[in-house]
Amino acid sequence: MGTVTVPAFLPSPEDDGQKLRKAFQGRGTDEKAIIDVLGHRTAAQRSAIAAAYASLYGESLLHRLHSELSGDFRNAVMLWTMDPAERDAKLVNKALKRKGERHLWVIIEVACASSPDHLIAVRQAYCSLFSSSIEEDVAHKITPTEPLGQLFVRLLTSYRYPGEHVAVELAKHEAAQLFDAVQKKQLHRDEVIRVLSTRNKSQLKETFEQYNEGYGRHIEEDIEGAGRSQFASMLKTAIWCIASPEKHFAEVVRSSVVGLGTDEDSLTRAVVSRAEIDMKKVKEEYKKRYNTTLIYDVVDDTSGDYMRFLLTLIGPADP
């Protein structure tokens, strides 16, 4: 359900590397050529292009992109060209240096909207890049003895069963546990954190469905009603990222374009991280919730090569 389109007749990585080199060496950078190549390649293909480019010209493709481009367009292209695990590790590290709830979303996105193997790769990349573990740095920023710190560290260190096995009776039991915690406004209970941080995603989706069927409400609605705390907000975000990532990322895009000014960092992160995964579902959710299209809002709030690159990754409007 990604939206990245690849040519039917795919050039070799060497041919793509040569086209990018030509784009860098003209009288001014050929941004269109860069978008045409990198915007229409998968992560594996982009990695092969970067390797071919380094072999052909003895320089890093990322370093050259940094020197040739500027502004939000440069940021978007570089994030897209990076190895996805390194990209997410850098996004988490950057988020930990900032203040505000929106930056904490990045940690939950990586922990909950990723596959188990990708999360492991991000943790490994983080250690290599920053000489510390991701959970160590999260615990340094958010006191690990407090509920929010416990939630984040346990989400990050979990390796969920990647299959689709579901135990319905267990889901009913744990839905009842969650309901009791929510009704008593004890969201920080250990069993709440345990269930969310250890169960596989199919099991959790069944648990949330049992909650809805058994108590007539969605769990995230009850959590919102249980309090306006930061912990409650992060718990809701984690549930969305586990069960319905498209809901969370539609909200990320919407919040980045509504109001005074555009939050380009959040907009770029949402588009780049979901383009190869579920951008079609994000677009559908966006239209359903906000009665407009994601493409319309991106065009309305961005411009130039940055806009053209985002639209390339987002893909065409649905019929």
- Alpha-carbon distance 218 to 210, whole Å? 10
Residue whose entry in the numeric block shows the structure tokens 């069963």: 161
Helix (H) or strand (E) holding 92: helix 84-96
Are 148 and 195 a contacting pair, CB within 8 Å? no
Q: Binding site: what residues are annotated?
A: 24, 26, 28, 68, 261, 299, 301-302
Q: Binding site for Ca(2+): what residues are annotated?
A: 24, 26, 28, 68, 261, 299, 301-302
Are 155 and 112 a contacting pair, CB within 8 Å? yes
Residue 162's Cβ-count burial label (10 Å; 0-12, 13-18, 19+) is exposed
Nearest to 92 by CA among 39, 61, 132: 132
| Neighbour-count burial for 57-96, b at 16+ CB within 10 Å, e otherwise | eeeebbebbeebbeebbbbbbbbbbbebbbbbbbbbbebb
DSSP letters along 223-278, please?
A: HHHH---HHHHHHHHHHHHHH-HHHHHHHHHHHHHSSSS--HHHHHHHHHHHTTTT
